Amino acid sequence: MYCPSCGHHLENGQKFCQNCGRSLVTVTDATEAPEITSSPDVPDVPDVPDVRTQEMTPLAPIPEPHWATPAGDNPTTTIAGLAPSIVEAPTGPDLSATTQIPAQSVSDTAIMAAIPGGPTDGFPVVFDGSDDLHEYPHGREPFKLKLVFILSVFGAIAVLMTAVADIIDIRTSAPIDGIATGIRTLETLGTNLAVAGFFGATVMTLGGLLACFGFRWGAGLAGGAGLALTGWAALVIGLAELRIASAESITRQTTDIAFTLKVTRDLGFWLVVAVAIAGILVFVASLRSFGTGGWPALNPWIAAVGAVAGVILSVGPLLPEGNATFSNNFRSPTTVLDLPTAYFTGRLVQLALIAFAIVLGLLVVRAYGLGLAAGGVSVAVWMWLSSLAGIGTFPLGIAAGNFGAGDTTPHAVTTVGMVLTIVMLVVAAVLATIGSQRQRHTTN
């Protein structure tokens, strides 16, 4: 057994602990072992009061660590073999106490000095550059087949077929003076109409292809050329109806000869209608690229001057010459020949679409708009140039020329409007290219 105070080994019957001097009365008294008898059948369990128990001696408690003792107390430590003495526990940090740290003022200069590399002149302490942020252009997307290109191809095929197809066929049962019988093609309606259609179809297809590479101005070019071909188709239909109306008016005036007039609108006529529809669809499909794409806007002053030039160009063919009047653009000048409504409508549709493409395209001051304006004037450029230079035997000017004119030479206002429009388009394109290169250099 062991001393309950110091844990020193004790002998049976020992009265005092030789180590700490504690009295060991009742601690070292001998205990008698209980007599246990066993039976083969039932075990002999002694009565509870007769069983003597031995007192359990607890072990010495584990001393508390010094950091667990609250500061300011003087705990007593008992060391074996020595008298109890007072030992001061080491003082540690007072975790229960709080220390107030005085606020320090840090200047902006000190903050900037703490930045590696030293302070930077003009660098704001708080971000205040939201007004300086710009929408940078996104990376150009890879080739992706788009609807505008598919429709452009179909429109170009229709133009090619129109060039070799018969537009109308006028026949009479007997020869009649004033009625030119036979098949009418694009070449007989106007010697520059087929080339003008080819030029517009080429521009439209090229613009659709560029749109597949992510060029927004390419989509605008296709859309503008689509509108130009729609105006071209309207003019061709008007010219065909003019030939039909002329033959019908002579038929009504001839009474001495009985004959039959037969007019057929052949495949080429309906192909021209298909070209007009395809041009409208190409323009609608190109509107998906109407956004800026992150590129800088066009110069607004150049765009405004270009829009005015487009209006001048469109008004030029409406100015009468000679004895004609401005009202001749909307109704027949005499009752002898009743000009068809389709003829007036075709002229006005072509001029209106030219003005619409140029004015809208330039005033939106975007790359798409620049392409739209350039494509919208594509067909008109060839008709103006060929009529001005007299290319072919019977070239037609824009909107078939001016009423009262003695030849196919375009009006001076038309020429001024065309030249000014081309110059403004070139200047706008150059400035847009320079601006995009600067922005690309800045982003890199």
pLDDT (tens digit, 9 = 90+) per residue, 272-282?
999 999 999 99
Query: How far is Cα 181 from Cα 260, in angstroms, rounded to an integer?
Result: 12
What is the percentage of the chain residues whose pLDDT exceeds 70?
A: 69
Q: Is the pLDDT of residue 7 over 60?
A: yes
Model pLDDT, residue 273: 96
Residue closest to 286 by CA, chosen among 348, 360, 380: 360
Model pLDDT, residue 6: 80
Q: Residue 27: which pLDDT band, with cuts at 50, 70 and 90?
A: low
Query: How far is Cα 20 from Cα 83, in angstroms, rounded to an integer?
Result: 9
Q: Residue 426: which pLDDT band, with cuts at 50, 70 and 90?
A: very high
User: Is residue 135 helix, strand or coil?
Assistant: coil
Q: Is the pLDDT of residue 384 over 50?
A: yes
Q: Which two tokens stand for residue 270?
A: 């309906």
Which has more pLDDT, 434 or 327?
Answer: 327
Rg (CA), the chain: 53
Which has more pLDDT, 5 or 390?
Answer: 390
Query: How far is Cα 121 from Cα 130, in angstroms, rounded to an integer?
Result: 19
Return the number of other C-beta atoms located less than 10 Å from residue 188's C-beta.
16
Q: Is the pLDDT of residue 265 over 70?
A: yes
pTM: 0.66
- At 309-364, the pLDDT tens digits run 999 999 999 999 988 899 999 988 776 677 899 999 999 999 999 999 999 999 98
- What mean pLDDT is predicted for residues 22-37? 58
Q: Is the pLDDT of residue 102 over 90?
A: no
In this structure, of 82-86, 178-182, 225-229, 257-261, the range with the lowest mean pLDDT score is 82-86
Q: Is the pLDDT of residue 262 over 70?
A: yes
Model pLDDT, residue 153: 96
Q: Which residues contact 189 (CB under 8 A, 6 or more apart)?
A: 167, 236, 239, 240, 243
Asked if residue 399 lies in contact with residue 235, where contact means CB atoms within 8 angstroms, the answer is yes
Query: How far is Cα 183 from Cα 171, in angstroms, rounded to an integer?
Result: 9
Model pLDDT, residue 112: 46
Q: Which two tokens stand for residue 393?
A: 């035997």
Asked if residue 254 lies in contact with residue 174, where contact means CB atoms within 8 angstroms, the answer is no
Which has more pLDDT, 74 or 272?
Answer: 272
Which has more pLDDT, 442 or 241?
Answer: 241
Q: Is the pLDDT of residue 51 over 70?
A: no
- At 142-181, the pLDDT tens digits run 678 999 999 999 999 999 999 999 999 999 887 877 788 8
Model pLDDT, residue 85: 45
Q: Is the pLDDT of residue 389 over 50?
A: yes
**Alpha-helical segments (H) within 107-215:** 108-113, 147-164, 186-189, 193-212
Helices 341-363 and 216-253: crossing angle in degrees, nearest 10, is 160
Model pLDDT, residue 84: 46
Q: Which residues contact 312 (CB under 8 A, 6 or more apart)?
A: 413, 416, 417, 420
- At 205-247, the pLDDT tens digits run 999 999 999 888 899 999 999 999 999 999 999 999 999 988 8
Q: Is the pLDDT of residue 75 over 90?
A: no
Asked if residue 277 lies in contact with residue 233, where contact means CB atoms within 8 angstroms, the answer is no
Query: How far is Cα 66 from Cα 100, in angstroms, rounded to an integer?
Result: 27
What mean pLDDT, rounded, does the chain reach? 78
Domain ranges of the chain: 1-28, 147-443
Asked if residue 183 lies in contact with residue 266, where contact means CB atoms within 8 angstroms, the answer is yes
- At 119-137, the pLDDT tens digits run 445 545 454 555 544 444 4
Model pLDDT, residue 336: 67
